[in-house]
A and B are shown apart, each in its own frame.
Chain A
Amino acid sequence: MLVLAIDTALDACSAAVLDADAEALLAAQTLDIDRGHAEALIPLVERVMKVAGVGFEAIDRIVTTVGPGSFTGLRVGISAARGFALVTGKPAVGVTTLAALAAPHLSESDAVPVVAAIDARHGNLYLQMFGSGGRSLVAARACGLREAVRAVALGPVRIVGSAAEMLAAHWPANATPPLAVEPRGAPEIIWVARLGAAADPRQAMPRPLYLRPAEARPQETQHLPRR
């Protein structure tokens, strides 16, 4: 099965073609950019497909990260994935940035839980803790630093993501310190591809995982009194 994987949700723009049965990465490229995904992604996919030497008719599945991350960035990847799905008639699946960040650590060993922590700016984090078999121990959430520490500093853990160091720096003195801290701005695209290959293709089209409501308040305009 050939999987086209893309990720634009965080501080990178990545694409890869994975032959999932052969466990062979045919092509992968990552640009370290935190903006300009809307311009960069499709030319990147074009290059990756060329390097992989396959046409879109050969792609069996499209996978994209769905967030949490930059609202604008994750919509680039989802729009592209759903567009590719339309034109190829193949399923598109979504994987979360949190799961993709945690995946390589869990694959190494799932004896110690893995916390994926993404900097959501202004002292906030996107957070999830995974245990054995990738089971979610602390559900994906957007929260402040203090709540994050309270939720995950219960025992020995490994931390990965752009907020890994921030979380580790605020670890309580009486708790077991993190066994590993890996700051990463974005998941490795091969793990996005692998998780996508393992996902149920009958799931619905990939949808954004924002974890935060849209910023919008009902307008308070000055109304004139009516009789």
Chain B
Amino acid sequence: MLVLGIETTCDETAAAVVSRDAEGRGEIRSNIVLSQLDEHRPFGGVVPEIAARAHVEQLDLIIKKAMAEPGLMFSDLDGIAAAAGPGLIGGLIVGLTTAKAIALGAGKPLIAVNHLEAHALTARLTHGLAFPFLLLLVSGGHTQLVAVEDVGSYRVIGSTADDAIGEAFDKTAKMLRLPYPGGPEVESMAKKGNPKRFALPRPMLGRPEPDFSLSGLKTAVRLEAERIAPLSNEDVADLCASFQAAIIDVVLDRVRTALSAMRAAKRAPNALVIAGGVAVNRAIRGALQLLSTEIGIPLVLPPPELCTDNGAMIAWAGAERLARGLTDAFDASPRARWPLDGAGTRPKESAGG
């Protein structure tokens, strides 16, 4: 089956076509992503109204490209999927409404996809991974450890009490006057720095529940920086390195705890999967690689372009749901908040349509 996927939850306007064969193997036929980085850069972060304005101007052109690349017509498709949440409501409305119009106009089913579910299922597209697996979802908006048990069956076993990891990276970058977007800048500065110079806290380390809390770490970075200001380039590099080292220690500890919990519950995962924008960070990827070898669990790292927001993951999640007969009615709501284990991702609560 062929599914078109539309992603407009934040600051990328994206569309893709993905195929899924009878054995459940996926193939990306096209994957077009237009980033709005330049529009948001002057504001040092994503501005919701600016994002919505950019989506409505560009989305149909991006979809057109995604269809033209593999030479497909809308009549060739089996379903139209769009991320219906969670995310910025202005963008969600544009993406979901466009998907509904295409679905109605082409006489195809609509699949309203949870953006987090799409991140969760990406490893099945790229690696054909079998359930269950443990997902570490780390981005600017989300930080979660999820037991992925089946399509529509997710248990969030760890989440953050305050900031997302990507958010902590961005705020640290902003504090240190690094360019936007800050995550990659912190990573590249960290490479040149001494991770042991500053003794930063490792919040939640050793706690029995695999949750996160990042705001204390962010504050600690600020206090250290204020203590030694004005900052030299070397100071900034050392702060970044020390910050990233703390993040890595926390991530490794929280992943270990989550793995133990899944194993103790006799639901030993087949793999550890990492997704989300922060999954592009090489230091974090490297550290998780070592951990996977040490404790004997395969690590699945989707390619960077499928870790950040994209349409292929939405199309794939749409295909997985469609293959199980899960479709949505044309009055489906965009949802700014939509927890992965909340109503609407579970099969029984999906409306026919």
Contact = CB atoms under 8 A, between A and B. Distances in A.
Interface in A179-227: 205, 207-208, 210, 214-219, 221-227
A136 to B, nearest CB: 24
Nearest to A41: B97
B102 A87 contact: yes
Contacts of B94: 75, 79
Interface stretch (A42-50, A107-115, A117-125, A169-177): A42-50
A163 to B, nearest CB: 23
Interface string A67-80: 00001100110111
A216 B101 contact: no
Interface in A62-92: 71-72, 75-76, 78-88
A38 interface: yes
A51 interface: no
Contact of A87 (B74, B174, B330): B74
Interface of B: 42-45, 47, 49-50, 52-53, 56-57, 59-60, 63-64, 74, 89-90, 93-102, 104-106, 174-177, 222, 225-226, 229-232, 235-236, 329-334
16 contacts: A42-B101, A43-B329, A78-B56, A79-B98, A80-B97, A83-B97, A83-B105, A85-B60, A86-B64, A218-B42, A224-B175, A224-B222, A224-B229, A225-B229, A226-B231, A227-B230
Contact of A86 (B50, B63, B100, B229): B63
Contacts of B333: 38-39
B52 A39 contact: no
A226 B239 CA distance: 13
A40 interface: yes
A214 B63 CA distance: 25
A72 B90 contact: yes
B43 A83 contact: no
Nearest to A225: B230
B251 to A, nearest CB: 26
Nearest to B91: A75
B97 A217 contact: no
Given A80-B97, A86-B105, 9 more contacts: A41-B97, A45-B104, A75-B97, A76-B93, A79-B94, A216-B50, A219-B43, A221-B174, A225-B231
B64 A79 contact: no
Contact of B330 (A42, A71, A208): A42
A38 B57 contact: no
Contacts of B45: 219
B49 A71 contact: yes
A59 B96 CA distance: 22
B4 to A, nearest CB: 10
B186 to A, nearest CB: 14
Contact of A83 (B100, B174, B334): B100
A219 B302 CA distance: 33
A154 B93 CA distance: 41
A26 to B, nearest CB: 17
A218 B44 contact: yes
A38 B97 contact: yes
A214 B105 contact: no
B330 A38 contact: no
Contact of A227 (B59, B98, B222, B232): B232
A64 to B, nearest CB: 11
B98 A208 contact: no
A84 to B, nearest CB: 5
A43 B98 contact: no
Nearest to A87: B105
Contacts of A45: 101, 104
Nearest to B236: A226
A208 B93 CA distance: 14
B53 A83 contact: no
Given A42-B100, A224-B175, A224-B176, A215 B105 contact: no
Contacts of B63: 86
Given A46-B330, A218-B44, A221-B44, A83 B93 contact: no
A83 B56 contact: no
